[in-house]
Amino acid sequence: MPEIKVVENILDANDQIAARTRQQLDALGVVALNIMASPGGGKTSVIMQTISALKDEARIGVMEGDVVMIDVEKVAALGVPVTLVNTGGNCHLDANMVSSALPSLPMDALDLLIIENVGNLICPAAFQLGHHVNVVIASVPEGDDKPYKYPAMFRGADVLLLNKIDLMDYIDFRLDYFRHGVEVLNPGVAFFPVSCKTGEGFDAWLDWLRARVAQRSATNEA
C-alpha cells in the first residue's frame, strides 16, 4: 500500500532529526519533557506550577508549540527563557520544528527543557522530538474513558498526571475505571493525581522530576 510507505518515510526522517536532537541534549546534559494533553487539559498550568516550584533549583527553558503568544507570555512572566515553536496550525510538533527552535533558547545554560505540545490526544503521540520523557496530562472534566479511546497516547506515557482533581466532586469520574484502562495499556506508569488550582498532589510529581533531572546530571558528570 503506497500511502503507508509514505507515512513510514516521513516518520523515519522525523526520527533521524529527533535522534540528532537527543544527542545534542545529552551532550549538554539537558533533560527534555514532551508535555501532551487535550486542549485545555492543563499543560500550561502544570508547566507554570512546575517552574514556580523548581526554578531556584534547576535552570528551566520552555518551548511552546502554538500559533499564538498567549502561553508564551504566561511562561515568560515567570522569568524563564521561552520560545514559540510555530506549528503553522499543525496538530502536533515534529522533530524539525523542535530542532529549529533550539537556537532560540540558551541551551548550554539549561538543566531542563519543557516542551508544550499541541493540544491533541492523537497526533503528538506518533512523533519523536528528541525528548527524554513523555508526560501525558489527562484531566477530570474530560472523562474517565480517555485511556480506552486514545490508547496510543496513554501507552506511550512515561509519566501520567491526572489534573483538575479539585473538580472530582462535580464530575462523574470513576477513578478505578480510569486507572484500570491505564494499567492495561501501560502497567506501572508513574501516576500522579494533581490539581493546579489547589496544588494537591504536586509534591510527588516534583519529587519524580527532581530525581529525573538529578539522574541526568549524574550521568553527564560521570
Ligand X SMILES: Nc1nc2c(ncn2[C@@H]2O[C@H](COP(=O)(O)OP(=O)(O)OP(=O)(O)O)[C@@H](O)[C@H]2O)c(=O)[nH]1
The region of 6-14, 124-132, 150-158, 195-203 touching ligand X under the rule CB under 6 A is 195-203
The Cα 188–Cα 181 span in angstroms is 12
Cell of 38: 487535550
60 C-beta neighbours (distance < 10 Å), count: 23
For residues 28 to 67, the per-residue mask of contacts with Mg ion, x marking binding by CB under 5 A and - elsewhere, is ---------------xx-----------------------
Regarding 195 and contact with ligand X (CB under 6 A), the answer is yes
- Choosing from 61, 119, 147, 181, the residue that interacts with ligand X (CB under 6 A) is 119
Strands 112-116 vs 133-139: parallel, antiparallel or unpaired: unpaired
Which of these segments, 11-19, 76-84, 145-153, 193-201, binds ligand X (CB under 6 A)? 193-201
Give residue number: closest CB to ligand X: 119
Distance CA 138, CA 173 (A): 12
Going residue by residue from 60 to 89, which x/- string records binding to ligand X, judged by CB under 6 A? -----------x------------------
Least separation, in Å, of the C-beta of 144 and ligand X?
16
Distance of CA 46 to the CA centre of its chain: 10
> 3-state DSSP call for residue 117?
coil
- CB neighbour list of residue 121: distance below 8 Å, 6 or more residues apart: 36, 37, 38, 146, 149, 150, 153
Q: Choosing among ligand X, Mg ion, none, which partner's interface includes residue 115 (Cβ < 5 to 8 Å by kind)? A: none
Residue 167 interacts with, from Mg ion, ligand X, none (CB under 5-8 Å by kind): ligand X
Contact letters for Mg ion, residues 63-82 (x by CB under 5 A): --------x-----------
For residues 165 and 149, what is the distance between their CA atoms, to the nearest angstrom? 20
| Contact footprint for Mg ion (CB under 5 A) | 43-44, 71
